[in-house]
Structure 1
Amino acid sequence: MQQEKKFDFNQTIGFILIAILFGVFYFLNKPSEEQIEAQKKELVQKQQEAKKHEQLNNTASQQAFQAVDPTLAQDVEVSNDKLKVKFSPKGAQISDVEIIGFDAYDAKKDGNKDPLHLVKNGSSKFNLSFKTKQGTVLNVADLVFVPQVQKNANNTVITFTANAQNSQIQYIYTLGDAYGIDFEVKTQGLSNITAENKVDLAWTMDAFSTEKGKDQEKYWSHTYFQFKGNKDIEYELFGADEWNEEESISWVANKQQFFASVLSYDEGFKNTNGGSKNSEKEDLTYSKHFHLNSQMDLKNSEMNYKFTWDFIPLDYKMLKGYNDKGFQNLIDFGWGLFGWLNKYFFLNIFKWLASVGITYGWVIFLMTIVVKLILSPVMYKQYRQSALMKVVRPELNAINDKYKDSKDAMKKQQETMEIYRTAGINPLAGCLPALLQIPIFYALFRFFPNLIDLRGVPFWFVDDLTAYDDIIRIPEWVPLLNGHLSIFAVLYIVAMMVYFKISGSMDNFQMPQQEGMPNMQFMKYMMYIMPVFFFVFLNNYASGLSWYYLVSNTINIFIVLYIKKFMIHEAKIQQIIETNKTKPKKQGKFASKMQNMMQQAQEMQNQQKDNKKK
C-alpha cells in the first residue's frame, strides 16, 4: 500500500541554507561599480581596435587595386517589363530591385500603396572574401568597380571590372525578359593576390515589410533551400530559423509571404549555413533579416562561378512553368493531403470561377457554394445521426437512472449498446463526417494567406483579402486583438452560434454520460469557448478566410433548415427507428468482439465480487 508523503522539515531547512550560501557567495563576489565601469571601457576599446584593424585590412587590400575615376563608377539602371534593377559600382552590388505590377502596403502613403522593392538602399549585400598573400582579408564587396553596359534585342549585359596589378575581378549580370538575372564571377591572375584555395561567400538581406498583416508576414517568411539532385525543399516554420548543411545545395531562397529572392548555383553550395531572424516588433520597415554563408572552391586558382538571381512573385501557376527548379514549392500550401487539396482542388476551382470575370470576393462566395454542394451528403448523414441520437435519448436517460452505481457501469454500457443496435444507430458514425471535413478546414488556413491573386484585392469594407479588415478600431491596450475588430470574424462567430442552435449540436451534450466517454458537460463548455478562440485567431488572419467561413456557416444554416423541414423530421426519424427494431440484426465482427469483451469484463467483475464475499 502506497504511504502518504509527509512534509520533510529537514529537507526544507537544507534548501534554505543552500540558497543563503549562494546569496552570500554572489554578494561577496559581486564586482564594484568601478570594476564594472572599467570592464565597459575595456570592451569599447577592444571593439574600436577591432574596427580599426578591419579598416586597415580593407585599406591594404584595396590599395592592391587600381584607383577608379569617380566619373566612370556610376550606378547602372536596367529594366524589363517585370523588374527594375539598379547596380552599384561599390562591390558591383544589386542595390535596388523593384517588381513591376505590384504594390507594397504603406500606411503612411495615400491609398496605402508604394512601389514594391525587394531590395532598396543596399538592403541586400553579396560578398566574396579571401585572405591575401600579405595576410589581410579582401572583401570584394568593398572594391569599386567600373561598369560597362551592352544591349541587344533580348538581353542587357552589365560587366563590372576591378583591376589590380596583373589581376582582374569581373561581375557580369545579364537581364533578359524574365524575373531572373544571370550572374557570373570571373577572375584573371587571382593567384597574384592570394594563395588560398577557397573563397568565403556571404549574402545578407534585410527584407522589407510589404504586407498589411505584419505578424502574418513574419510567420510565412523563412529561408528555403533545395539539396542538389533533389526536388524536395527544406525549411523550418515558426519564428526564426537556423540551419547548417554539408551536403550540396542548389539554391537558397529568402522567402517573404508573397515574394522570394533566390540565389541559385547549379554546381551546389557546400558547407553552407543560413537562416533568418524576425525584426523587432516595433520595426515596421523590415519583416526579416536573412543570412547565408558558404565556401566556394577556386578552380585553377581562379573564380569562375555561374549564379542566378531570381526575384519572383509567388504565383503557383506562373512558377510551375518558370523553370524546373521547383520554385512553386516555395508557396506553403501545406504538406501531404492538405497541399494536394490546395494545389489541385481549391486553386483550380478558384481559377475556373475567376475566369468568369467577377470580383474575387464573389469568387470566394461561389467557391464556398461548390464546396458545400460536394459536402452536402456528408452533412446530411451527420445531421441524420444527430437526429437519431436525439430520439433515443429518453431510453438512454432511463438506463442512466437505473444504473447509477459505478459497480454497474458494465451493465449500463451493455444495455446502452443494445439500444444503439436495435435502433440501427452507430455511435461512431457521427464522427466520420466531421473527420472528413477536417482536411478541408485545415487546408483553407494555408490557402488564403498564400494566394497571391487575393493580395491587395478589396471587397466591400475590406482593403486586402489576404489581411485582416480593421474598419472597427478599438484601444491598443485590449489584449490579443491588436487594436481592431474584424467584421467578417465577428459575423462568422455569430453564424457559428446560430448554426449550433438550429442544428441541435448543443443537444448532443445533453446525452447521459457513458463509461469511458468524454465528459459531456466539459464538451458543452468547450463549444461555448471555441468561438472565442476562433475569433481571436481570425481577427488577425486573412479576411478572405473569415469571409469563406461566414458564407460556409450561413449556407450550413439554410441546409439544416431545409433538411429539418423537408427531409428529416422527428416523426420520420421515429419511423426509421421503429423499422430498424423490427429488422433482423446481423452483428459485425467488430461489434461481436466488443460484446465478447464486455461479457468477459462483466464475468471478471462478478468473480471479483465473489472473491471479496469469500
Structure 2
Amino acid sequence: MQQERKFDKNTIIGFALIAVLMAAFFYLNQPSEEELKERQREEQLAEQKQNEAKQSETAQVNSPLQVQSDSTGQPVSAKNHSVENSKLKATFSGQGGYISELQLKEFSAFDSAAKDHKQPLFLIKDGNNKFNLKFKDKTGNEINTSQLAFSPSVQNTGAKTIVTMNAALAQGNLQYVYTLGDDYTIGFEIKSQGIHQITSDKNLAVEWDLNAISAEKGKQQENYWAQTYFRFKGTNDVEYELFGADEWEEKEAVDWIAFKQQFFSSVLSFDEGFLTPKGVSKPIAEKDPHFSRNYNFQALMPVSGSELSYKLQWDFVPLDYRLLTDARYEGKDFDNIIPFGWGFLGWLNKHFFLNVFQWIAKFGISYGWVILLMTIVVKLVLSPIMYKQYRQSAMMRILRPELNELTEKFKGQENAMKKQQATMELYRKAGVNPLSGCLPALIQIPIFYALFRFFPNIIDLRGESFLWAEDLTAFDSPILLPSWVPFMDGHISILALSYIVAMVIYFRVSGSLDSFNQPPQEGMPDMRIMKYMMYVMPVFFFVFLNSYASGLSWYYLVSNVINIGIVMFIKNVMIDDKKIHATIQENKTKPKKQSKFSQRMQQLMEQAQEQQKQQETKKGKKK
C-alpha cells in the first residue's frame, strides 16, 4: 500500500539552510551606521538644493521683476493669476505663462501625517510642472518661452473665464489664452504678433515636464499603474509606453499625450498633431515623500503662416469611466487611459463587472458590501462550471482503482503504449473526458486576471474604507512591522492573510491535493512533491497581495469562502459517489460510437505501437 510521502530529514535540513542563508544575506547586506549617516547627509544636501531652487523660482515668479521690455521700451512684470470653477482651481505663472498650480477640488490626497489622512489634491504645485516653446531668432539665439515674463488680462463671458497671459518680445508679443468653463477642461491657444520678424524656423519645439505628486497610500502600486498614454493622429489607436520603459519615441504624429497617475491624468491635446513625439517616464525613489514619477514630452509643432495660431487643450481628469465616455469627451478615447485591460479582458471589465458593481452601489450600501454582493453574483454565474468541474473530478476519483490496476498490469517502458491505449479505452467506455475538468478552470482565468485590473483602477473605491481598511484601492495595514523585515513593506495585510488561509482550506476541502498523492506512473515524474508546492504557493500570493489593493484581497477572500460552501454543498448534497459509480458501470455496457477525433487518435497510437514493435525486433536481430 502506497503511503503519503513525508518530509524526510534531508528536506528539512535543506529548508533550514535556505532560511539561514536568506537571514545571513539580509543581515550582511544591511548598511552600516557610517553608510546610513552618509546617505542621510546626501539626502539632506539634495533636499536643501531642491528647496533653494524652488525658493529661487518662487521669488522670480511672485516678485514683479522686470524680465524684459516690450516693443515700446516699457518694462514688463511677471505676474501670477488664479481662476477656479466647481471642479478645479488653476494658477497661471507670470514666469513662463504656463500652469503653475492645479487643484482638483472634489478630491483629496493621502497624507499619513494628517489626523484624517487627507489633504487637498494638487496635480501641479511647488514647481513640478513646466511647459516651454523653443525656437531660434534670426541671429541664431535660442528663445525659451518658460523664461519669459507674462502679464495677465482677464475677461468673463458668462459661464467662461478667459485669461490671456501676454509676453512682450523684441518686435512683437506672444500670448497664451486660457479658457475655463465649468468642467475639467482648460482651453489653450497660442497666438503671436510679429513672430515672423523674430524667427524663420519652420517648426516650434514643444517641451512639457511634470513630476507627478504622490497622492495615494500605496506608492508602490501608484508607480506601477503610472504610465504615458498617447493617441496617433487621425486614428482610435491609443498606445502607452510599456511597463518599465523609461524612454519612448514615435515617427507618427500624436494628437494627445497623457501623463497618467493611478487615478488622475494630465492630458495635452492638439488636433493638428504633435510631430516626431518622444518622451521619458521614470519612477522617483519611494523614499521621496512628495513625488512619484517624472514625465517628459518633446515634439514639434509646424509654423504655418506668418503668425502662430495654435488651438490646444488641457484636461486634468479623474479616471472615471462614466465621465470619460460622456458626450463632452466624445471622439477623444480618453476612457482607454484606464488600464482595464485590452481585448476581451477590457470588455469584461467595462461591460460586465463595472455595470454589476455600479448597479449594486446604487443601493447606497458600503463599498465593502458591494464587493461581497458582486462576488456572489459572479459565483452564481460560475456555479454550473464549478459543478461540472467537481463532477468530473469525482468520476476520475472513482476510476482511480481501475487506473491503478492498468498501471500494475502494463509495467515497463515497453508497455507504455499499451497502457495508454487501455487507459483511453477505459475513459471511452466510462464516458469520462479527462480534459473536460481543465476547461472550467481555463474559463475562470480571464475572470481572475480581469478583476486583478479592475479593483486597483476603479475610482469609486478610492478613499472608501471598510472594516479596518481605510482605502479599498490600497493595502490594509492594521499590523505594522519594522522596516528591516524583508518583503513585507513594513506591514501585514489582514485581508490578504485571511485570503491565503481560505485558499489552503479550499485546497483541502475540494480535493485539489488528492491528485498529487498518487504513486508515479512508469516513466513519469513523481508529482507528489507538488503537494508541498501547493502549500508554498500561498506564501508567494501573500507577499504579492500584502501591498496590493485591499478591495481585491477582500474579493478573493469572499470568493474562496463561497467556493468552500459551494464545494461542500455539491459534495454532500448534489453528488453521490455511488450513483456516479453506477452511471460509469452503466456507460461501460452501452455501445459507444467513436468520434472522428477518437478514431484518429486510436490509429496514431496503433501506428506508434507497430513502430515500437519493429524497433524492438531490429534490436533483437542485432543481438
The bucket for the TM-score relative to the shorter chain is: 0.7 to 0.9
Name the CA distance, whole Å, in 1 between partners of 2:564 and 2:216. Answer: 35
* 1:155-191 deviation line (CA, Å, top 9, x unaligned): 0000111223441111110000110000111111112
Among 371, 374, 381, which residue is 1:374 paired with? 381
CA shift for structure 1 position 326: 0.6
CA shift for structure 1 position 424: 1.3
| Distance of aligned partners of 1:159 and 1:342 in 2 relative to their CA distance in 1, 3 Å threshold | same
Among 512, 523, 536, which residue is 1:529 paired with? 536
Which residue does the alignment assign to 1:445? 452
Which residue does the alignment assign to 1:56? none
| Distance of aligned partners of 1:116 and 1:468 in 2 relative to their CA distance in 1, 3 Å threshold | same
Contact 1:219 1:237 in 2 (8 A): no
Contact 1:198 1:298 in 2 (8 A): yes
Which residue does the alignment assign to 1:19? none
Task: Say if 2:408 is the partner of 1:365.
Answer: no
CA shift for structure 1 position 413: 1.2
* 1:427-472 deviation line (CA, Å, top 9, x unaligned): 1011001011011011001100110000110000000101111111
CA shift for structure 1 position 397: 1.4
User: Number of aligned pairs?
Assistant: 555
CA shift for structure 1 position 194: 2.0
Gaps of 5+ in 2: 1-64
Map of 1:242-391 to 2, 5 A cutoff? 242-321=247-326, 322-323=328-329, 324-391=331-398
CA shift for structure 1 position 386: 0.7
Which residue does the alignment assign to 1:193? 198
- Root mean square deviation, CA, Å: 1.9
CA shift for structure 1 position 69: 5.9
Query: Partner letter of residue 129 of structure 2?
Result: S
Query: Partner letter of residue 427 of structure 1?
Result: P
Among 149, 162, 165, which residue is 1:144 paired with? 149
Q: Could you say what secondary structure the match of 2:116 adopts? A: helix
CA shift for structure 1 position 64: 7.1
Which residue does the alignment assign to 1:538? 545
Name the CA distance, whole Å, in 2 between partners of 1:374 and 1:68. Answer: 74
CA shift for structure 1 position 512: 5.0
Name the CA distance, whole Å, in 2 between partners of 1:85 and 1:104. Answer: 17
CA shift for structure 1 position 104: 0.6
Among 560, 566, 589, which residue is 1:559 paired with? 566
TM-score by length of 2: 0.86
Which residue does the alignment assign to 1:167? 172
Name the CA distance, whole Å, in 2 between partners of 1:133 and 1:393. Answer: 88
Which residue does the alignment assign to 1:593? 600
Contact 1:470 1:486 in 2 (8 A): yes
Name the CA distance, whole Å, in 2 between partners of 1:96 and 1:314. Answer: 20
Which residue does the alignment assign to 1:234? 239
Q: Could you say what secondary structure the match of 2:364 adopts? A: coil
Gaps of 5+ in 1: 1-58
CA shift for structure 1 position 238: 1.6
| Distance of aligned partners of 1:516 and 1:584 in 2 relative to their CA distance in 1, 3 Å threshold | farther
Among 548, 557, 565, which residue is 1:550 paired with? 557
Contact 1:259 1:312 in 2 (8 A): yes
Name the CA distance, whole Å, in 1 between partners of 2:136 and 2:103. Answer: 35
Q: Could you say what secondary structure the match of 1:268 adopts? A: strand
Q: Could you say what secondary structure the match of 2:608 adopts? A: helix
Q: Which moved more, 1:195-204 or 1:310-319?
A: 195-204
* 1:457-509 deviation line (CA, Å, top 9, x unaligned): 00000001011111111222222111111111111111111111111111122
Q: Could you say what secondary structure the match of 2:402 adopts? A: helix
* 1:546-583 deviation line (CA, Å, top 9, x unaligned): 10010010001111111111110222221221221222
Among 139, 143, 149, which residue is 1:134 paired with? 139
CA shift for structure 1 position 292: 0.7
Query: Partner letter of residue 433 of structure 1?
Result: P
CA shift for structure 1 position 237: 2.9
* 1:493-541 deviation line (CA, Å, top 9, x unaligned): 1111111111111112234545787752244333222212211111111
TM-score by length of 1: 0.87
Contact 1:240 1:278 in 2 (8 A): no
Contact 1:456 1:465 in 2 (8 A): yes
Which residue does the alignment assign to 1:490? 497
Which residue does the alignment assign to 1:609? 616
Contact 1:68 1:144 in 2 (8 A): no
Task: Say if 2:200 is the partner of 1:224.
Answer: no
